[in-house]
């Protein structure tokens, strides 16, 4: 066996470029699936270990689901009534005593992209801009760096105040204290009352590139009829979580005026449902990667078969010599099979390596934890071995069945 | 052609048991419409410790016969027994085993693996015989020494002269201690001086107790053998211990 491996590497080394090109097909096929799987498992791992979308013990109601809206069902969501600020405030009333930390949020839809300015200073387009209340900090794990949080009165009195992220400070107030200054966002003017402590990046976007104003002000300035309010509720404790959510759903149904036979006309998410939704998206992406890599691997397998057939023809004389000195069929068969398996597995290992690096690279950009996908890597090696065997079988069988004297005579 | 050298200069060793027995062997090649009768019915016994030359003009069927004796090719009809076993009844793998253990074949064009060094080429039959690597290296090295190439074992074929390549081929034929050594025009691709060296090597092998069958169309080569068979148009014209 050792001998056969040595021979295989030897003869593959003779045609380095050709071997390399043949291998690269396998590499691409394995790369795509391993890359996606690595990224997905890294993200999934991070999400499950607490890098949550919502604060812990929180659930959220909104008009639209978080992700995975596909063409057909979009109508269903568009037909839903918006969640108005009035409904949200009645919800808060209902929940008083059961849950006090209830964050209301609405975000500019990004059309046009939001840009803020102060004097001659401008931010780039694409600032996260929205309205909220005093519980934004708690619900989204923000903290105040300098200045103060919104107060209930700021919301009640529809004050034109703003809390801004560190990136906005860097861009608009490079050499000034931002507190008390008037900045412009979407052509409206707001007084800066506080700066969020820097959070860094999450899922590829900076969380410091943000301007938040009181939700009442946001809806007044940009049209209450345009926006639906998201309601995030924090259960007082883990043990009361389910009961609180039950109560919250009931409150929402009352506020929305639903009759008992009507379905909920709002989405409910908790970290669990968000994880499930993520998993669904991940599954779609993964199946896509599977299809792509299956096609790539099939093509690569045919490439291996082709190159092995060429190799058998080129080495007819060598095969004749080996047979003349006593190589049995199975030995020749094994030799060529090992060559094709070495080709495909080497290609596969390179693909696994590159895929892991790329997948983890993506995961790192999205601040997820780095993983090595042992299971996928093992599956990749198994699949590549199978490809080598399946597509190498015919050429190897052809080599093994050559007539010794015909083979020796071949020029 | 020059007359043979006097017989008394060469010792004739007593022959041993029968190794090869062929009877009424024919070989036909179909070339489109035309049928070529390469062998038309050859009957021949060869014993251990013989030194046999097969002579004949080009196209007389020498190589065809030789390939058959070497179990590389099978007859169209007729009987071939090797060490008492019917070759026609053997499977491909059994034939491979006979070629591996019982027959050492030396080709006119050497047929060495170009990318492997001399040692590796000589090792090849031992690899297929399943000899472990330590013993294999040792035996291959000894075989190369016995043909005078002890200092060339790591040369590739293209780093060796024609005569040296043919010596490597002879070493490869010897290394598994076969029953017989078959050589098809072993000097055909060599200059006459190098050819003489190879023939001297064969003489040594014969005197050391090996069985040799050499195909040639040169009287000067055939003169070294102890028995000469003359083929003509696929038939044995004469068979005798001529010298
Ligand atoms: N593979 C083959 N296909 C067709 N004809 C062949 C083949 N091998 C040999 N022959 C023919 O058989 C005859 C004997 O050939 P060969 O044994 O090579 O003769 P020699 O070795 O004595 O020159 C020749 O006529 C040759 O053309
Ligand atoms: Mg010939």
CA of A310 to the centre of ligand 2 (A): 29
> Given B96, B124, B172, which is nearest A328 (Cβ)?
B96
Distance from CA of A390 to the nearest CA of B (A): 24
Which residues in chain A have Cβ-Cβ distances shorter than 8 Å to B113?
Answer: 318, 321
Per-residue tokens: B154: 């790591």
How many Å lie between the centroid of ligand 2 and the Cα of residue B184?
7
What six digits make up the tokens of A111?
């059309």
**Would the CB of B31 count as within 6 Å of ligand 1?**
yes
Does B133 sit in the ligand 1 pocket, CB within 6 Å? no
Residue B128 sits at the chain A interface (C-beta within 8 Å): yes
Is the CB–ligand 1 distance for residue B234 below 6 Å?
no
- Tell me the pairing of strands A116-118 and A182-185: antiparallel
What pLDDT shows up at residue A66?
62
pLDDT value at A49 more than 60:
no
Q: Is the pLDDT of residue B3 over 50?
A: no
User: Is the full-model pTM beyond 0.90?
Assistant: no
Quick check: A71 contacting B, CB < 8 Å? no
Poorest-pLDDT segment among A160-164, A203-207, B28-32: A203-207
Question: Residue B62 CA: which ligand 1 atom is closest?
Answer: 22
Check B125 against A329: CB less than 8 A apart: no
CB B202 within 8 A of CB B234: no
Q: How many angstroms separate the alpha carbon of residue B235 from the centre of ligand 2?
A: 15
Among B229, B191, B243, CA closest to B61: B229
CB contact under 8 A, A329 and B93: yes
Decide: A398 and A56 in contact? Cβ < 8 Å.
no
Residues in B closer than 8 angstroms to A410, CB to CB, are none
pLDDT in tens, B173-217: 999 989 899 999 999 888 888 889 899 999 999 998 999 999 998
d(CA A125, CA A112): 9
The protein residue with its alpha carbon nearest to ligand 1, atom 17, reads B61
Q: Which amino acid residue places its CA nearest to atom 3 of ligand 1?
A: B29
Residue A128, sorted as left (phi over 0), alpha (psi -120 to 50) or beta, turns out to be beta
What number of other Cβ atoms are within 10 A of residue A353's Cβ?
15
- Would you tell me how many other CB atoms lie within 10 Å of the CB of residue B154? 10
Of A130, A174, A165, A158, nearest to A144 (Cα)?
A: A165
The string of pLDDT tens digits covering residues A148-195 is 999 999 999 999 999 999 999 999 999 999 999 999 998 899 999 999
Structural domain spans, chain A: 2-48+277-408, 81-265
Contacts of B70 in chain A (CB under 8 A): 324
Cα–Cα dist A313/A317, whole Å? 9
Using a CB-CB cut-off of 8 Å, the residues of chain A touching B92 are 328-329
Which of B27, B29, B182 to mutate for ligand 1's pocket (most ligand atoms within 8 Å of CB)? Answer: B29
Inter-residue contact B188 to B215 (CB < 8 Å): no
Q: For residues A309-332, give the mean pLDDT.
A: 95
Residue A390 predicted with pLDDT over 90: yes
Nearest protein Cα to ligand 1, atom 25: B59
* Confidence label for B12 from pLDDT (cuts 50, 70 and 90): confident
A199 confidence band (pLDDT: 50, 70, 90):
confident
The pLDDT of B143-151, averaged and rounded, is 92
CATH number of B47-72+91-241: 3.40.50.300
The residue extents of the domains of chain B are: 47-72+91-241
Average pLDDT, chain A: 87
> Which positions ≥6 away from A36 have C-beta within 8 Å?
A285, A286, A288, A289, A359
Q: How far, in Å, from the CA of B215 to the mean position of ligand 1?
A: 14
At residue B8, does pLDDT exceed 70? no
Nearest CA to ligand 1 atom 2: B29
pLDDT of residue A55: 67
Residue of A nearest to B125 (CA): A325
Q: What is the mean pLDDT of residues A45-54?
A: 57
Between A321, A329, A331, which is nearest B111 by CB?
A: A321
Please work out whether the CB of residue B60 comes within 6 Å of at least one atom of ligand 1.
yes
Task: Number of A to B CB contacts under 8 A, please give it.
Answer: 59
- B62 CA distance to ligand 1 middle (Å): 8
Are B105 and A325 a contacting pair at CB < 8 A?
yes
In percent, how much of chain A has pLDDT > 90? 54
Are A351 and A380 in contact, with CB atoms under 8 Å apart? yes
Question: How high is the pLDDT of residue B2?
Answer: 46
In this predicted structure, what is the pLDDT of residue B102? Answer: 94
Per-residue pLDDT at A202 = 56
Model ipTM value: 0.93
Across A302-306, A407-411, B14-18, the highest mean pLDDT is recorded for A302-306
Q: A51 falls in which pLDDT band (50, 70, 90)?
A: very low
Higher pLDDT, A67 or A361: A361
Instruction: Give A79-114 pLDDT, tens digit per residue.
Output: 788 899 999 999 999 999 889 899 999 988 777 788
* Contact A320/B at CB under 8 A: yes
φ/ψ of residue B126, rounded to 5: -70, -35
Task: Kindly report the nearest CA distance between residue B14 and chain A, in angstroms.
Answer: 29
If pLDDT is split at 50, 70 and 90, which confidence band does A53 have? Answer: low
Write the residue in A320, A325, A329 that is nearest to B124 by C-beta: A325
Q: Is A110 on the interface with B (CB under 8 A)?
A: no
At A64 the pLDDT is 79
- Report CA(B60)–ligand 2 centroid distance (Å): 8
Q: Is B72 near chain A, with CB under 8 Å?
A: yes
B105-129 burial, b at 16+ Cβ within 10 Å, e below that, comes to bbbbebbbbeebbbbbbbbbbbbbe
CA distance B159 to B117: 9
**Interface contact A326-B101, CB threshold 8 A:** yes
CB proximity A301 to B under 8 Å:
no
């Amino acid at each position: 066996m050792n001998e056969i491996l040595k021979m295989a590497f030897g003869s593959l080394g003779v045609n380095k470029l050709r071997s390399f090109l043949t291998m690269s097909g396998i590499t691409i096929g394995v790369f795509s699936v391993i890359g996606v799987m690595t990224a997905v498992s890294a993200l999934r791992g991070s999400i499950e270990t607490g890098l949550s979308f919502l604060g812990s013990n929180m659930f959220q109601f909104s008009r639209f689901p978080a992700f995975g809206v596909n063409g057909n069902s979009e109508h269903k969501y568009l037909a839903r009534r918006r969640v108005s600020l009035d409904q949200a405030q009645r919800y808060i009333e209902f929940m008083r005593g059961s849950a006090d930390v209830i964050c209301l949020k609405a975000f500019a839809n990004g059309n046009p992209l939001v840009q803020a300015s102060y004097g001659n200073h401008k931010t780039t387009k694409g600032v996260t801009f929205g309205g909220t209340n005093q519980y934004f900090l708690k619900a989204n794990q923000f903290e105040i760096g300098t200045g103060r949080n919104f107060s209930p009165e700021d919301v009640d009195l529809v004050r034109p105040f703003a809390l801004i992220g560190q990136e906005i400070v860097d861009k608009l107030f490079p050499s000034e204290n931002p507190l008390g200054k008037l900045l412009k966002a979407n052509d409206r003017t707001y007084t800066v009352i506080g700066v969020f402590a820097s959070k860094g990046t999450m899922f590829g976007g900076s969380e410091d590139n943000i301007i938040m104003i009181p939700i009442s002000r946001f809806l007044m300035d940009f049209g209450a009829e345009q926006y639906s309010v998201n309601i995030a509720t924090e259960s007082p404790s883990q043990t009361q979580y389910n009961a609180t959510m039950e109560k919250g759903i009931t409150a929402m149904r009352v506020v929305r005026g639903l009759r008992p036979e009507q379905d909920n006309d709002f989405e409910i998410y908790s970290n669990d449902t968000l994880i499930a939704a993520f998993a669904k998206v991940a599954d779609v992406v993964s199946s896509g990667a599977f299809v792509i890599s299956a096609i790539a691997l099939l093509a690569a397998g045919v490439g291996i078969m082709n190159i092995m057939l060429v190799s058998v023809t080129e080495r007819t004389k060598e095969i004749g010599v080996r047979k003349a000195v006593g190589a049995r069929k199975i030995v020749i068969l094994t030799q060529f099979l090992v060559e094709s398996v070495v080709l495909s597995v080497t290609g596969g290992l390179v693909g696994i390596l590159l895929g892991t690096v790329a997948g983890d690279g993506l995961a790192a950009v999205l601040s997820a934890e780095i993983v090595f996908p042992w299971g996928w890597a093992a599956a990749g090696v198994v699949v590549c071995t199978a490809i080598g065997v399946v597509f190498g079988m015919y050429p190897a069988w052809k080599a093994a069945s050559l007539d010794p004297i015909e083979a020796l005579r071949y020029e | 052609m020059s007359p043979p050298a006097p017989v008394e200069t060469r010792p004739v060793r007593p022959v041993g048991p029968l190794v090869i027995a062929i009877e009424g062997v024919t070989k036909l090649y179909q070339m489109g419409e035309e049928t070529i009768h390469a062998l038309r019915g050859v009957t021949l016994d060869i014993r251990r410790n013989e030194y046999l030359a097969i002579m004949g003009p080009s196209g007389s069927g020498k190589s065809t016969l030789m390939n058959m004796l070497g179990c590389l090719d099978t007859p169209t009809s007729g009987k071939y027994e090797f060490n008492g076993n019917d070759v026609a009844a053997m499977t491909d793998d059994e034939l491979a085993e006979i070629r591996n253990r019982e027959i050492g074949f030396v080709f006119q064009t050497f047929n060495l693996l170009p990318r492997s060094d001399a040692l590796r080429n000589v090792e090849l039959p031992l690899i297929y015989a399943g000899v472990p690597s330590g013993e294999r290296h040792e035996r291959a090295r000894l075989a190369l020494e016995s043909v005078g190439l002890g200092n060339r074992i790591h040369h590739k074929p293209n780093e060796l002269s024609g005569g040296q390549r043919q010596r490597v081929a002879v070493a490869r034929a010897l290394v598994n201690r076969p029953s017989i050594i078959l050589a098809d025009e072993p000097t055909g691709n060599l200059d006459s001086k190098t050819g003489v060296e190879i023939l001297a090597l064969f003489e040594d092998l014969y005197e050391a107790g090996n069985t040799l069958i050499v195909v040639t169309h040169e009287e000067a080569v055939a003169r070294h053998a102890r028995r000469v068979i003359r083929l003509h148009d696929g038939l044995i014209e004469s068979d005798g211990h001529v010298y």
